[in-house]
Amino acid sequence: MEPIRLLGLDYDDLSVQAAAALIAQRPPDAPFRYVVTPNADHLVRLARAGNLRPLYTRAWLRLLDSRVVSRAARLLGLATPRACPGSDLTAALVASLRPEDRVTVIGASRQAVLRLGVRQAAQHIPPIGFERDQVAFQAAVDFVLAHPARYVFFAVGSPRQEMLAWAVAHTGRATGTGLCIGNSLAFLSGEVRRAPRWMQLLGLEWSYRLASEPRRLARRYLLDSPPVLSLLLRARLRQGRAGVARQARSAAEGAGSGVAKAGGGVAAPGRRT
């Protein structure tokens, strides 16, 4: 399936079920690959800090996490991948685990991991600010290498989790599949309540989370994420200008072709036809 490009990233147009099935097909000892699920916050950050883009382009799968971004892009007439929320994908993968499957978790809380009921789970919780501490960052990478697993859940928030996944892949020594999942394990374990399903489907989960944790999430949802709408609008305007330019080129080429055909029937001076 051809990827769909939106705001500078090529997305895999997969449903939660299709993505989970594809990931589950990978053997635990396969060379390490990782999955990213950009949302509105990620996309705004990428627009402002282009040096983060390789963390996403190196990923094996890029899945659009945001129903809000998906709906807004469709309303603007942009080519849009279907939404594949990371929390739903994580739930599907955990549900498919077999007793012998190993899981490695970087981040999350010990309570959240215990409540998952995974028999063979290894967990490392890096200190706050570990992404700026070379020793602490390397310790997290080394933990993944020392605990090979079917799935490695990076649950330390963006862009830290993508930085870790990229670094693990860069070693060339890891196996399994990494997933950058944010707060998904907290939702799955019941540690943090998700919005009702109807709110999720309507793209209103952000409002439920904002009401539940206003102090922690107000900046993200009210200041950091809304600029994604202007990014989408600019993309639509660029698409419109490109369409006009293509039409102008086609018209010019058509006119040139007509002149050439007309000229082909004119005899050269002094030459019999």
Type of residue found at 200: Q
Percent of the chain residues topping a pLDDT of 90 = 66
Residue 84, Cβ density class (10 Å: 0-12 exposed, 13-18 middle, ≥19 buried): buried
Judge whether 116 and 96 are in contact, CB under 8 Å.
no
Cα–Cα distance between 175 and 25 in angstroms, integer? 14
pLDDT tens digits along 31-78: 999 999 999 999 999 999 889 999 999 999 999 999 999 999 999 999
Judge whether 38 and 65 are in contact, CB under 8 Å.
yes
Cα–Cα distance between 166 and 265 in angstroms, integer? 64
Average pLDDT, the chain: 88
Predicted pLDDT of residue 70:
95
Write out the chain in H/E/C secondary structure: CCCEEECCEEECCCCHHHHHHHHHCCCCCCECEEEECCCHHHHHHHHHCHHHHHHHHCCCEECCCCHHHHHHHHHCCCCCCCCCCHHHHHHHHHHCCCCCCEEEEEECCHHHHHHHCCCEEEEECCCCCHHHCHHHHHHHHHHHHHCCCCEEEEECCCCHHHHHHHHHHHHCCCECEEEECCCHHHHHHCCCCCCCHHHHHCCCHHHHHHHHCHHHHHHHHHHHCCHHHHHHHHHHHHHHHHHHHHHHHHHHHHHHHHHHHHHCCCCCCCCCC
**Helix 40-48 and helix 67-75, axial crossing angle in degrees, nearest 10:** 70
Token representation of residue 220: 């993200």
**Helix (H), strand (E) at residue 243:** helix 227-263
Judge whether 29 and 258 are in contact, CB under 8 Å.
no
Residue 29 reports pLDDT greater than 70: yes
The closest of 1, 54, 20 to 150, measured between CA atoms, is 20
- How many beta carbons lie within 10 A of that of residue 196, not counting itself? 12
Residue 209 reports pLDDT greater than 90: no
pLDDT tens digits along 244-262: 556 656 666 666 665 555 5
pLDDT tens digits along 159-193: 999 999 999 999 999 999 999 999 999 888 888 88
Predicted pLDDT of residue 136:
98
pLDDT tens digits along 30-42: 999 999 999 999 9
Instruction: Write down the pTM of the prediction.
Output: 0.84
